[in-house]
Structure 1
Amino acid sequence: MKQLTVLFQGKKERTFEQLDLIKEEPLSIRVQGRPYVVVMRTPGDEMAHVAGFCLAEGILDSPEDIGTIASCEGETTNVVTLTVTPARLGAITHVLDRRGFVSQTACGICGKVLVEDLSQMVRVLPDGPAVDLEKAYQCLESLKGLQPLYQQTRTTHAAAVYTSAFELLSVAEDVGRHNALDKAIGKLFLNGTLHRAGVLILSSRISYEMVQKAARAKIPFILASSAATALAVELADSLNMTLASPSRRSGIQVYCGHRRVAAPVG
């Protein structure tokens, strides 16, 4: 956190005040000692961030794929290096050559090609248990209560991961919505509890990148505060995922994966 003296101009007053600003710094992610990608993020949860990011990229499939994950010796936490096991390295040569596909999509690629390529990295998810939309919405409504940095700065996004029975498993904040999701997923990936995840709650819109990250984590249900993009719905539908957001009317709009939504009782 950084403090800044700002000018506050009201209708009848003019004062100088101290304001807390969230930090935004680069994180260089290296794989096998080579630079892979640099992301701008809120400092904190670096190991979880890298683990979640590398899961989404297809570099990792399970915690057992990790050889080492650590800040570079003599460096700050702005540089983290991941090494994978020899067995995993042989399976991801094409991924490392691609570099940052999810986070840095090349110009000119069309949505259809993107969905087809991403679908090769993710298996279609099973139907699984039905989700209670009312309980999911309650989680969305309470999300800001899980965001101390947002309360202080009004700057961060958040991602919260629940079981299908709405037990909170993980939550993370960051200036970037992608980073918050990587951190929330990465925490569970590293502690071996990601298999319990069933519901994802987001403070942002649902873009195709968010669907990709959730799909790689095998989280089938996403409820977000803002709407989904057309490409996100296309990708999610191809993977048997459920996307939803609050409607302009009173209620929830479900874009795809309707079979996973429990019918209202009464």
Structure 2
Amino acid sequence: MAVEQGAKPIRFAVLKPGHGSPEAIERAVISEAPVAIEYNGIGYAVMMATPIDLQDYAVGFSLSEGLIERPDDILALDAHRSELGWILRIQVPQKNAEKVVARARQRVSESSCGLCGMDNLDEVMRPLPRVTAQIDVADAAIFAALSALRSHQTLNAQTGSAHAAAFCTPDGAILMTREDVGRHNALDKLIGALARADIDITSGFIILTARCSLELVQKTILANCPMLVTISAATDLAIHIAEKSGLRLVSLARADSALAAMPQNG
């Protein structure tokens, strides 16, 4: 069975009501593995992720965490497969390493959630910059991108369990997509891939196949992307923070409708 990178074939017994012996099938299942992230030999986080596009992930994660400002702040990057998972060894200049040490004190090993490792509420709710980028996106462009998204989800087409993050032009054309078992990871991979390809993230918008929670809004704001569209609904905090930072937020986006967050009272 040919499968996409990031998946593996697994045998299953198909159980059906009212049938006798179950049918045996082989199906592609998405890969999930611990990915340990180190900076200059300092353990920073352990994330559960799909081990593909790891260089994009390393750059995007580092940008989202505020540990680097641009891809060339990373002096060296090695993705090493170990017996238990993967290790991303990232080398940064001393000034960046000081940020790593400061942030590492506020983190513990975590899942794909971008906030689970924080032990300080001030850090979780840290002030965010205003989104300075502005683009004009017609409603028709949003629905055009949504219609095209499925054809860009190659890993999900085989496994049915991959989140996707896609970067779109203002007219709704999809330029780049990254997939992962975790929605936060998919977004970090996309941010990293855009930065490595020198594509201006301020020139378009992002679509995510996920519910819209605070962490995804934070990552989008820190990347200075002007608009975020999510397939599932947004939380109240995500809507509040998006409005406060000037991020245009569209959620519960379907082929025939979507919810555009309006200014909130209070």
Which range, TM-score by smaller chain?
Answer: 0.7 to 0.9
Unpaired runs of at least 5, structure 1? 259-266
Q: Does 1:125 align with 2:131?
A: yes
| Identical pairs, percent | 28
Q: Does 1:199 align with 2:205?
A: yes
Question: TM-score normalized by structure 1?
Answer: 0.83
**Residue pair 2:228, 2:248 contacting (<8 A) in 1 also:** yes
Q: Give the direction of change, closer, same or farther, for the CA distance of 1:147–1:52 in structure 2 (3 Å limit).
A: same
One of 36, 42, 50 as aligned partner of 2:50 = 42
Deviations 1:21-68 (A, max 9, x none): 111111111011111001111111111111111111111111232221
The one-letter amino acid of 1:253's match is L
Residue 218 of structure 1: how far off its partner (Å): 1.1
- 1:218-233 equivalence runs, <5 A: 218-233=224-239
- 1:22-171 equivalence runs, <5 A: 22-72=30-80, 75=82, 78-90=86-98, 93-99=101-107, 102-106=114-118, 109=121, 113=122, 116-117=125-126, 119=127, 122-126=128-132, 128-171=134-177
Residue 196 of structure 1: how far off its partner (Å): 4.9
Partners in 2 of 1:257 and 1:86 — Cα distance?
43
Partners in 2 of 1:132 and 1:243 — Cα distance?
14
Q: Give the direction of change, closer, same or farther, for the CA distance of 1:65–1:226 in structure 2 (3 Å limit).
A: same
Q: Structure 1 residue runs of 4+, over 4 Å off?
A: 74-77, 90-93, 113-116, 247-250
One of 182, 185, 194 as aligned partner of 2:188 = 182
**Residue pair 2:145, 2:174 contacting (<8 A) in 1 also:** no
Partners in 2 of 1:196 and 1:221 — Cα distance?
9
SS at match of 1:98: coil
Partners in 1 of 2:13 and 2:222 — Cα distance?
45
SS at match of 1:6: strand
Question: TM-score normalized by structure 2?
Answer: 0.83
Residue 12 of structure 1: how far off its partner (Å): 5.6
RMSD over aligned CA atoms reads: 2.8
Q: Give the direction of change, closer, same or farther, for the CA distance of 1:65–1:250 in structure 2 (3 Å limit).
A: same
Partners in 2 of 1:198 and 1:184 — Cα distance?
13
The one-letter amino acid of 2:194's match is L
**Residue pair 1:143, 1:203 contacting (<8 A) in 2 also:** no
Instruction: Tell me the equivalent position of 2:3.
Output: none
Q: Does 1:3 align with 2:9?
A: yes
SS at match of 1:218: coil
Q: Give the direction of change, closer, same or farther, for the CA distance of 1:97–1:164 in structure 2 (3 Å limit).
A: farther
The one-letter amino acid of 1:98's match is Q
Partners in 1 of 2:50 and 2:39 — Cα distance?
21
Partners in 2 of 1:182 and 1:233 — Cα distance?
20
Q: How many residues align?
A: 251
Unpaired runs of at least 5, structure 2? 1-6
Q: Give the direction of change, closer, same or farther, for the CA distance of 1:197–1:43 in structure 2 (3 Å limit).
A: farther
* Greater Cα offset, 227-236 or 92-101: 92-101
**Residue pair 1:211, 1:232 contacting (<8 A) in 2 also:** yes
